[in-house]
Amino acid sequence: MTTTNTNLASAKIAIVTGASRGIGRDTVLRLAARGVNSIFTYNANQAEADKVLSLVAEAGAKALALQLSVENAATFDAFVARVREALDSWGAQRFDYLVNNAGTSSASTFEAGTEAELDAQFAVHFKAPFLLTQKLLPLINDGGRIVNISSGLARFAFAGRAIYGPMKAAVEALTRYMALELGPRRITVNVVAPGAIATDFSGGVVRDNPQVNKAVADHTALGRVGLPADVGPVIAALLSDEFGWVNAQRIEVAGGVHI
């Protein structure tokens, strides 16, 4: 458990999974710029998580990094206990925002997809947002905000994403059910669907392969691939009071890809 040393102000608190890199990292930093403190998770790279902590501290906010492998639901109770401890140490009983961002890639075709990969993708992309959110519900404030992360691949098909895309489509359906059932607590639930983003996700193929990068750009109205900085601000905005009447919506952040 690692934390920044900044003083805790009276501020909103977010939990963001998978935030040592990419979209999750940018989301935490955008929230920090808005004065929101964060508890975020990382899978294995503590050094990168520590860098995020330093940047949050520079922004004048507070953050805590907790290790969590979202594919292992058996660890969720222990994680929630650590969240309770963290909130208590910050003088808070509950948090305000949850971003279910952590994910892993799959490049399987329908014909070649295996049961093992199907189970692994289900555990990360559907089971984790379902069960982790369920376990955190007693700790989220009424009137809170939840954002799930999907993908443009839930809307359009692309070769080699026959497991990943449908899993993200399932997340979008889950989001609507969550919004319906959490409505009495005034908790909004929306889903952000990024397009192809230049990060190390999927082996960095969009960022590092010129042919893939160009192919995506050529099919995008704005003529380039996305960056984490294109998506993080949208997530942070959705969590704000200004978007309190937006609920059960899918927002694609993809520059107009495959319109």
pLDDT tens string 120-163? 999 999 999 999 999 999 999 999 999 999 999 889 987 778 99
Asked if the model's pLDDT at residue 99 lies above 60, the reply is: yes
Residues carrying an active site annotation: 150-151, 164, 168
Q: Which residues pair with 41 in a beta bridge?
A: 66
Residue 225 lies in a domain: no
pLDDT tens string 68-90? 999 999 999 999 999 999 999 99
Q: Which residue has the higher pLDDT, 106 or 43?
A: 43
Mean pLDDT, all residues of the chain: 92
Residue 246 lies in a domain: yes
* Three-state DSSP state, 15: strand
pLDDT tens string 43-71? 999 999 999 999 999 999 999 999 999 99
Asked if the model's pLDDT at residue 209 lies above 80, the reply is: no
Distance CA 90, CA 39 (A): 11
- Domain count across the chain: 1
Residue 215 lies in a domain: no
The pLDDT value recorded for residue 9 is: 44
Residue 216 lies in a domain: no
pLDDT > 90: percent of the chain? 79
The pLDDT value recorded for residue 200 is: 67
* Three-state DSSP state, 218: helix
Residue 115 lies in a domain: yes
Domain CATH number, residue 156? 3.40.50.720
Distance CA 48, CA 230 (A): 20
The pLDDT value recorded for residue 190 is: 98
Asked if the model's pLDDT at residue 7 lies above 70, the reply is: no
Residue 259 lies in a domain: no
Residue 206 lies in a domain: no
Residue 52 lies in a domain: yes
Cβ–Cβ < 8 Å for 7, 91: no
pLDDT tens string 136-148? 999 999 999 999 9
Domain of 245, in residue numbers: 2-199+230-253
